[in-house]
Structure 1
Amino acid sequence: MNMITQKFRQSVNANTCIGTINTTEEFNAGLVELKEEAFPPEHNAAYVMFARQRSGEPNYTTKEITLSFSKEGLINGTYELTPLAHNVRLTYADNSNPAKPVIYTQSGGTAVWEYNAVTGVFYGTLKGAVVENHDDDEPKALTIDVKFSVRKNSALSSSLRARAVAA
């Protein structure tokens, strides 16, 4: 096994986001990444955890959780997921029907997180997180309960990933 393949396998296994959607549907992300991004005020610079679960054949559709925590003044702890919260933001994308993806945004629940700057590991939970979609006349709501653990900058670029697969 070459070094690139070994590094690829380690990075994939290091990150997890596992739990349930609406208490019955399993969520087990095959791709989990942590990066830093800049957003408009008041969210500003933030840590962003992205988790994607992909279904199997024949459709390969995806469901995605994006959770971001403002870096400015934020300490490890528990945060409320209210619609107006600016220090933590949660979105859920259901791409079960690729022609009509459904995007949900936070409306309740809590996010608990801890970031270890020494190890670069970001971990925590979404407890009873409620996300809503308002595309139709009737709002749709889902609950998300997941545990996650992700190492900062552990995802490989697509070029490295392509080389690892080709090796």
Structure 2
Amino acid sequence: MQRRVAVTLDSDLDRDLGLDSLGRAELVLRIDRAFKVRLPDQLLVDASTPRDLLRALLAAAPGRVAAMEALPSELKELPEVVAPFSATTLIEVLAHHVQSHGDRPHVLLWRSEDDEQTISYADLNRESCTIAAGLIERGLVPGDRVAIMLPTEPAFFAAFIGVLY
């Protein structure tokens, strides 16, 4: 049974909402675009709650305070993110997430306002296994070195995890 987590302005971005540094950077970028502001880079390090993000947004756009106060204040419940605390490798972490919620988005690649690509845990696992099988067919063995030279695209993530496999 999954436990629900109440999201408040004081929820921890990392612990309660599962936003790592990359997820936080994406959130700040989306806030910048949505509200047409430029939040300080230091916010990526300093912000630990939605309240911190809201304060920075209000400081960057003080004329919008009245509009922000009109927003509904209802609580939203999100499923709890259960961390794989016993995992010792990235492969074990991925396996945990594939089993727990494989269809859930793992990577969002933003290309433009209208062009985002989502990679689920299951999709990443499937593509990575295909890459790993191809590397093994070509004679790669554990301990061999592999260079990956790809732009930030779906193939990069599959290649990276495939090499780990």
The normalised TM-score by structure 2 is: 0.26
Larger relative contact order (C-alpha < 8 A, sep ≥ 6)? 1
Select the structure of larger CA radius of gyration. 2
Bigger helix share: 2
Q: Which has the higher strand share?
A: 1
Return the TM-score normalized by structure 1: 0.26
